[in-house]
Amino acid sequence: MSLNRQIQKQKPHKYVISKPIDNFFSDIYRVYKFVFRFFKEAFLPPFEFQEIVRQCFEIGYKSLALISLTGFITGIVFAKQSRPSLAEFGATSWLPSLVSIAIIRALAPLVTALIVAGKVGSNIGAELGSMKVTEQIDAMEVSATNPFKFLVVTRVIATTFMVPLLVLYTGFIGMIGGFLNIHANEQTSFTTFFENAFESISFLDIFSSIFKSIVFGFTVGVTGCYQGYHASNGTQGVGKAANTSVVISMFLIFIEEMIIVQIVNAIRPS
């Protein structure tokens, strides 16, 4: 009897250990099916062009104010913080090149993606989560509308398309901020600043920045839509979907940044 009781006590422990593992692989499978369905639905008619344009406006235009302020401050702060280190070696003339390399290669894509993840990703997760828990998505299916194509595909396409444009804008605003700081201290002219800045920038730098922004935009869109589309448990589930969208998006953005940087550095000519 004592042996049977010990076996029964051990079974719940095995179940507790295996359940998180089962849930982890189940979540991976559901994400795989979600992404696969997106690529399937994205290339099948009807195409929701009007909704895509509306989402591009919501994601792009309404994020300009925050991105403008953040990009401008980023350029000023980076130039200001880099000056003392270069001044020790009498190399302040390298500031335009240093600012351009830092902003175009890393800061513009990363800062923009994090802002979009926080602002847009949470909004998508909360919006779709609210529609899910109030059964609006089910109502769309009953009315012969494909909710996945109308709600998910349009938003993912919009984030994938708009984030690269926002990255280019952030890079330009960041460079303007860096120029103003350098001009105020070194009296560098506008023409001289940008000539020195773009001497250190190659086509690979611009291509890698745009490629990263495409990946980041797709990640933010898919994560927000997945969390909102599978929300449950009422208003609590809506809040959880919005919060999880931001956390997972930012985590994946840093992982993708690390991987892409390693690949770009591997193919960069020495």
Residue 9 has pLDDT above 70, yes or no: no
DSSP string, the chain: -HHHHHHHHHHHHHHHHHHHHHHHHHHHHHHHHHHHHHHHHHTSSPP-HHHHHHHHHHHHGGGHHHHHHHHHHHHHHHHHHHHHHHHTTT-GGGHHHHHHHHIIIIIHHHHHHHHHIIIIIHHHHHHHHHHHHTTHHHHHHHTT--HIIIIIIHHHHHHHHHHHHHHHHHHHHHHHHHHHHHHHHH---HHHHHHHHHHS--HHHHHHHHHHHHHHHHHHHHHHHHHHHT--SHHHHHHHHHHHHHHHHHHHHHHHHHHHHHHHHHHS--
Whether 4 is covered by a domain: the verdict is no
Q: pLDDT digit string (tens) for 130-184?
A: 888 888 888 887 777 788 898 999 999 999 999 999 999 999 999 999 999 988 8
The total number of structural domains in the chain stands at: 1
Mean pLDDT of all residues belonging to the chain: 86
Amino acid code (one letter) for 172: F
Instruction: Write down the pLDDT at residue 137.
Output: 83
Whether 20 is covered by a domain: the verdict is no
Instruction: Write down the pLDDT at residue 157.
Output: 94
Residue 5 vs residue 139, higher pLDDT = 139
Q: pLDDT digit string (tens) for 214-247?
A: 999 999 999 999 998 888 877 788 888 889 899 9
Whether 103 is covered by a domain: the verdict is yes
Return the half-sphere exposure (C-beta side, CA atoms, 13 A cut-off) of residue 109: 27
Q: pLDDT digit string (tens) for 102-132?
A: 999 889 999 999 999 999 989 999 998 888 8
- pLDDT tier, 7 (very low <50, low <70, confident <90, very high otherwise): very low
* Mean pLDDT of all residues in 252-265: 92
Instruction: Write down the pLDDT at residue 113.
Output: 94
Whether 10 is covered by a domain: the verdict is no
Whether 202 is covered by a domain: the verdict is yes
Determine the structural domain holding residue 223 and report its residue range: 50-267
